[in-house]
Structure 1
Amino acid sequence: MRESTKIHVGELRIGMYVTKLDRDWLDTPFIMQGFLIEEPEDVDIVAEYCEHVWVDSAIYKAQADVAASGIGTASQHRTQPYEYQSDLQEEHKKAYKAFRHARTITFDLLNDIRLGGSINTDVAKDTVNDVVQSIIRHPDAMLWLSKIREESTYTSDHCLNVCVLAVAFGRQLGMDASDLEKIGLCGLLHDVGKMRVPEEILNKPASLTTKEMALMKSHTVHGRNLLLQAPNVYTGTIDVAYSHHERLDGTGYPRKLQGASIARFARIIAIVDSYDAMTANRCYSGAMTSTDALKEIYANRGTQFDAELALEFIKTIGLYPPGSLVELYTGEIGFVIEANPRLRHLPKVILLLDENRREKKKQKVLDLSFIECGELSRQCLIKQVWPDGSFGLHVKTYQDQGLKLKY
């Protein structure tokens, strides 16, 4: 086991790996028990919760040597966070209209396939283009909408959500608009093969038998075959439909591919697909919180998921993604409406319930970043994330009532 060195948070530097805190991990917003300091803001976040931390001794010594020599590190030359190109409230209006249309189109597209029709690639491309344009302008609007699901339309909602998440992930990875459209199309069509799997198996509320599991796994082969027959289809969608359940360690299906044999887009969709499935209510399991799902992805990096991409996806989603139902230390409950790229633990939250769990008479958006300048009490920090539907609060219900962003 690697040795750790106890230091004051004032000694933390970019590139150091924190292994232990001076308090319980559950009392902090950190997703993983152990993390890399990548930006100056990471030090600020740690300092809000801790006075001392333990860091990997070897990395600490290397950082000290670098500091003494005056040589900078590559991590200090990271690109700036993406800038938003539109106001959130303005983007919500555009995104909601586009998302509602996309839900209808995706459901009809998959239903046509179930009934024996072919894949309408032109309609699929138009749907993805609308998603891409919205996410380029401001990803949080579409990410909020991706939390809206219904069990009766799970597969089509899942396909659209994977499209949205994949495009947001691609934006984080620095993809241009052309590649965002490609990865979005891969996300939208990754599960088309499930339209050839009997519905009683897709919707079975209990464990599948060995035979049923084999039929379920066959959706990757069906997806490949359906897309091979589709006119003017982006060829990457064929590989992703066939390979998104492969695992880096070779234990996936259908071909048990390993490592570099799995294409990059398939690795991306594998992560996004798993995250969306884990955070959804299914007929056989309840939804995980976003935090717990990211912990699963982190725990399985390097075996099930590409390790580097897994860490980048965790950054994309962040501590409190839009649509997260959170409880403040004040006891108040609300939804995260907008992430904060600079201070990831201080998003904007719509407060819906007061400290006694009663509905607030006036809903308003609280910008938690004001904690930094002392305009808000530290009691307004987020204490806990709850699954959607807790306290009778659902993203869909709130959205249907009309989004009210009053500051």
Structure 2
Amino acid sequence: MIVSERTYRFSYNAWLTILAVSIPFRIPATVLLILFAVYNLVFFNQLKFTRRRVFFMFLIAAPFILDLLFLWNNTSIAEGIKHGEKRLSLLLLPFFILSQNHRFNTVLILRYYALATTAILSLCLMRFAIIEPELFSKYLNGVDLWEMGYAFARSIKMHAPALNMHVAFVVVINFYFFKEALGQIRKTHVIWRLVFFLISVILLQYINTRLAIVNAFFGIILISLADVRKLKTKGLLKRLVIGVFGFALLSYGFVKIFPYSVEKFSEVTFAHLDKVGKLDSLENPEASAYNGLVTRLSIWKTSLDVALEHPVIGVGAADGKQAVINKFEATNQQFLAKYKFPVHNQFLDFWIKFGILGLLVVAVYIGLFAYIGFSSRQILCVFFFVLFLTANLVDDFLIRFDGIVFSALWLSIFTKNALDIKLDKA
């Protein structure tokens, strides 16, 4: 098929933006991912491979390659293949994106991704208020606030921590472009960017997962202080105050409406830390410990024991979760066994499944965001490193479709941009 170079570049930027926006919605995202692969195959003549590009393709695809290398280590080969299929996009996305022979408009992709995601999730929240008026009214009246964000996330078939990881990234992107607009474009544009930033903060607060809120706050400070050497003190303080004050003001208003947030961040999070590995001794662990740090610590303690029992080659991707559940049962931790908790730490999860090589691969994969971000001075890539690292310390997003595609897509885009920047300097 013959199209002009300009049309092809425009369509590719559009493809990447639409893919990024679709990720929270698994079925549309899966369909779009397949169509994206077909699109690249149709225009296969546009692909160009160099040693450096192939090297980074290999690094990004490393978790999927582990599935292939350790396929023999699964009790069921069929189940091992099924687990590997989840991570196939770690191969496809860098293969197609890094091999493109033209430069992407990364700034445009990021901006429209953030704007579209904010708008779509706002509509989803309005839809939630319409289809679940009793729940929405209950939350506004301060009843059962612990389930508020989770109920909204389930209404669009998402897991709240995963959804809020996306939203935290969107909040920081929106603030980045708002900051960039100050004093440079028309006031009406600045106001609109501020509005989208504030709406995304409201979404973040409504879903209300602790780590995402902390990460977004850190990201706002990071963006405010970026290029500090180029800024005058007055300009620096102006940006920092606007970002931090806006975020803090919305957070304060949210806490006034939903006071449970303070309890969630303090008492619930750090309650019963003396009960690590002994959750069944609590009278009602579902009510008092389900969302607390003590549950995570209990899971990690047991998971570490499993990893140390199979430190070199692990137990296989298909058998990792069951190995941890078996350990819950063997150590008489009935609460954890009942709910069949996953590991909730990607480093431990891959260590259990693939042995010490799995631990190394996770570190390299996540660390690649830091290397690309710092080496090419892409501040949003640096923030993504912080976001994805902290998220995977308390959860395991490389076993979830949204976490796999989310990270693979942005890592591929940021890496392609870094390679192009390096080429410009050559």
Q: For the superposition of Structure 1 and Structure 2, which TM-score range results when normalised by the shorter chain?
A: under 0.3
TM-score normalised by L of structure 2: 0.26
Instruction: Pick the structure with more helix per residue.
Output: 2
